[in-house]
Homo-oligomer: A and B are copies of this chain.
Amino acid sequence: MKKVGKQSYTLTNPVNITSTASIVGPKEKAGPLYKYFDQTLEDEFWGENSWEKAESKIIKETVNMAISKSGIASSDIDFCFAGDLLNQCISSSFGLRETNIPFFGVFGACSTFVESSILASIAIDGGFATNVVCASSSHFCSAEKQFRFPLELGNQRTPTSQWTVTGSGSMVLTSSGTGPFITTFTPGKIVDMGIKDANNMGAAMAGAAEDTIVTHFKDLGRDETYYDAIFTGDLGYVGKDLLLDLVKGDGYNIKNIYNDCGVLIFDKDAQDTHAGGSGCGCIASVFSGYIYKMLQEQKLKKVLLVATGALMNSTSMQQGESIPGIAHAISIEI
């Protein structure tokens, strides 16, 4: 490991992404990335009697699938890093309570997947672990119920609101292998842009994404020419445009290589998803499903994956607080 610049790190032994798995819900199945996911569900319940239990099942089966694909015995996995959006992260703790793997609960809102992979990379490169599994999940119905309005009310959604992805992504990281590899990372600081609209998360998180991407560039002496692609998750359409403007102001033009997982996962017009997808499961499933396969097929060779989180809850919104954002970045190369 080498610390580079202010807050970036290059790994001595790049961490190998041995396998990934993704399971998503019916709306994601109807979206443009449907063929990349390992499994797509017919409904939001998957045989369970609550949305929360369905979400737990989704993360559980996704983790089991990633471990199974890796060919590594579950007993040889040193750590599990996981988290989700539900209060007290119950999707992860209930879904993964039978894994019998030492468990670290992580909360970074929608940045959880990359936060987990940074912590896993630190553990592996530092010699503490050989095999680690990371996962995160979200569920449209459990999230709406918890953060917004009962779905039964049929409330109208604002144009800037995002659609929480029902899905989970998981990956098994190992100390050796043939790649793709996590080669560097830049953990984020909390950035508060003063946005107070819970239906405009993209705007609230764009500043954090800018801070992390620009810091990453400066620390490593890189710019937009280094990467084939930069993916954020999940700024959506509003946050994506804002981020492009913000980094342009810093002297970088990432337009030609940049996209957002929340933009990619749904067809905005056909699916009526307004500002795009969001939720811990969005970047997790889009990376584990789509981006990882692009790397394996060498259609992408150098990717910067930047997960963004909005660190609020429904009480803080009622109390008039602004929405602090955070963004964690890893680079993945073949």
CB closest residue in chain B, given A145: B315
Q: List B contacts of A53 (CB < 8 A).
A: 319
| Interface residue A190 (Cβ < 8 Å from any Cβ of B) | yes
Chain B residues within 8 Å of A89, by CB: 107, 311
- Contact indicator B87/A107 (Cβ below 8 Å): no
Among B50, B101, B146, B311, which residue has its beta carbon within 8 angstroms of that of A105? B311
**CA of A40 to CA of B108, assembled, Å:** 30
Q: Is the CB of A104 within 8 A of B115?
A: yes
Q: Which of A118-126, A229-237, A255-263, A285-293 contacts B (4 or more CB under 8 A)?
A: A118-126
Closest beta carbon of chain B to A204's beta carbon, Å: 12
**Per-residue contact bits, chain A 169-193, to B (CB 8 Å; 1 contact, 0 not):** 0000000000000000001111010
Task: Answer yes or no: A201 CB below 8 A from chain B CBs.
Answer: no
Inter-subunit contact B93/A324 (CB<8 Å): yes
B88–A107 touching, CB < 8 Å: yes
Distance between Cα atoms of A243 and B190 in the complex (Å): 39
Q: Which residues of B contact A83 (CB under 8 A)?
A: 107
User: With a CB–CB cut-off of 8 A, which chain B residues contact A125?
Assistant: 126, 128
Q: Which of A107, A108, A125, A187 gathers most chain B CB within 10 Å?
A: A107
Contacting B at CB under 8 A, from A87-119, are 87-90, 93-94, 96-97, 99-109, 115, 118-119
A306 interface hit (Cβ, 8 Å): no
Q: How far is the CB of A49 from chain B (nearest CB, A)?
A: 8
- A316 contacts partner chain B, Cβ-Cβ < 8 Å: yes
Size of the A side of the interface (Cβ < 8 Å), in residues, is 57
Task: Point out the residues of chain B lying under 8 angstroms from A122, CB to CB.
Answer: 119, 122-123, 126, 128
A316 touches B115 (CB 8 A): no
Q: Using Cβ atoms and an 8 Å threshold, which residues of chain B touch A1?
A: 126-128
Which of A90, A93, A315 lies at the interface centre, i.e. has the most chain B CB atoms within 10 A of its CB? A93
Flag if B123 contacts A87 (CB, 8 Å).
no
Is A314 on the interface with B (CB-CB < 8 A)? yes
Chain B contacts of A99 at CB under 8 A?
189-190
Judging by beta carbons under 8 Å apart, are B3 and A128 in contact? yes
Question: Is A326 an interface residue, CB under 8 A from the partner?
Answer: yes
In this complex, what residue of B is CB-closest to A89? Answer: B107
Q: How far apart sit A78 and B316, CA to CA, in the bound complex (Å)? A: 28
Please, what's the 1-or-0 string for A306-334, where 1 marks a CB less than 8 Å from any CB in chain B?
A: 00010111111001010010100000000
Given contacts A101-B189, A104-B108, 17 further A-B contacts (CB under 8 A): A7-B102, A50-B319, A87-B87, A88-B311, A88-B313, A90-B312, A90-B313, A93-B311, A94-B316, A96-B190, A99-B189, A103-B187, A103-B188, A103-B190, A104-B119, A123-B126, A126-B128
Closest 5 interchain pairs by CB? A126-B126, A93-B311, A88-B313, A102-B187, A107-B107
